[in-house]
Amino acid sequence: MPSPIHGFKQLFEACRNSAVTESSMRNPPIKRPRKQSSSVKLEQIIHEMDTRGDPKAVAGMARFGIETSKAFGVSIPQLRDLAGKIGKNHHLAEQLWGTGIHEARILAGMIDDPAWVTEDQMEKWVADFDSWDIVDGSCGNLFDKTEFAVRKALEWSKRKEEYVKRAGFVLMAELAVHDRKAVDKTFLDFLPLIVREASDERNFVKKAVNWALRQIGKRNAALNAAAIETCSKIRDSDSTSAKWVASDALREVTSAPVKRKLSGTKQQGPRR
């Protein structure tokens, strides 16, 4: 099957011998990473994705607002299958990211090891974000598991670039779902940023703001009350976007299923 990417061989040859990125060399990992035993090579992975690619899938991706100029049309389940075969491998993840290929970058987030990830790398990747699904995949598969996640959520949510700002709020949402050790104060500190940015009319930003608010409101009873109060503040805005964020989030965080789920939960950690 022909690749949807024109000039694939030239693109691959330009990146196949890439070494560890300059940012990683400047800022080496502090933690001792898990053993990385994968013998899979970059060329094998690109060939596998090229083989699995489907031009019809590329067209479908484009209809959902995904950047497809360098896409093969490989599904997420297929990428997860590849990630399972590869295992964790930071060096290979950075090589995959460097190709600029859409699915390679999603796969990079799946196989990278959070123990190796530096702030420099996170800033490099976020500067390359050009599609909402790469944002969500990088944040949900990798960035939310790094020691820098909370700080980057706060920083990126204040940035102007559409996909960088989205990344900040996606991180908030992912942390609310997955970081069971985080104290409530972490999420209470996110709420003023949600109030401030709810008026952003850009589709990919406002949906991420809404996502973060909903997930915070479903974490426990105390945060549910704080989220409901936040919805009330946002709803008073003159912004159409803010009104949508508030009404949609309020509908979910006040729903009967959420109330039943949270009836026995307590706040986590001190509210400092």
Full-model pTM? 0.85
Position 136 in a domain: no
Assess whether 108 and 156 both reside in one domain. no
Position 22 in a domain: yes
Q: Is 32 helix (H, G, I), strand (E, B) or coil?
A: coil
Q: Pick from 81, 101, 129: which residue ends a domain? A: 129
Q: Pick from 79, 102, 129: which residue ends a domain? A: 129
What is the structure's pLDDT at 39? 66
Assess whether 85 and 162 both reside in one domain. no
Position 261 in a domain: yes
Assess whether 174 and 268 both reside in one domain. yes
Which tokens belong to 22? 């300059």
Low-confidence stretches of the chain (pLDDT beneath 70): 1-39, 266-272
Structural domain span for residue 103: 1-129
User: Residue 263 and residue 272: Cα distance in Å, rounded?
Assistant: 24
Please enumerate, as own/partner, the contacts of 213-217 that have beta carbons within 8 Å and a separation of 24 or more.
213/245, 213/249, 213/253, 214/173, 214/248, 214/249, 214/252, 214/253, 215/172, 215/173, 215/174, 215/176, 215/177, 216/172, 216/173, 216/176, 216/187, 216/190, 216/191, 217/249, 217/252, 217/253, 217/258
Assess whether 107 and 183 both reside in one domain. no
Which residue from 269, 208, 213, 205 is spatially nearest to 246, judged by alpha carbons? 213
Tokens 């952003």 appear where?
200
Position 135 in a domain: no
Assess whether 109 and 190 both reside in one domain. no
Tally of domains within the chain: 2
Q: How many CB atoms lie within 10 A of CB 130?
A: 15
Q: How far apart are the first and last CA of the chain?
A: 58
Position 141 in a domain: no
Which tokens belong to 212? 């973060």
Which residue from 75, 98, 77, 70 is spatially nearest to 4, judged by alpha carbons? 70
pLDDT digits (tens, 9 = 90+) for 14-31: 444 443 444 443 444 445
Which tokens belong to 200? 């952003």
Position 267 in a domain: yes
Assess whether 167 and 214 both reside in one domain. yes
What is the structure's pLDDT at 180? 93
**Is residue 98 a contact partner of residue 46, using CB atoms and an 8 Å limit?**
no
Q: How many residues does the chain have?
A: 272
Considering only CA atoms, give the Rg of the chain: 20
Domain CATH for 189? 1.25.40
Assess whether 18 and 98 both reside in one domain. yes
Which tokens belong to 235? 């709803």
Assess whether 111 and 152 both reside in one domain. no
Assess whether 92 and 162 both reside in one domain. no
What is the structure's pLDDT at 5? 53
Assess whether 83 and 160 both reside in one domain. no
Q: Pick from 129, 160, 192: which residue ends a domain? A: 129
Assess whether 101 and 153 both reside in one domain. no
Position 140 in a domain: no
What is the structure's pLDDT at 131? 96
Assess whether 91 and 156 both reside in one domain. no
Position 142 in a domain: no
**Is residue 73 a contact partner of residue 58, using CB atoms and an 8 Å limit?**
yes
What is the structure's pLDDT at 197? 97
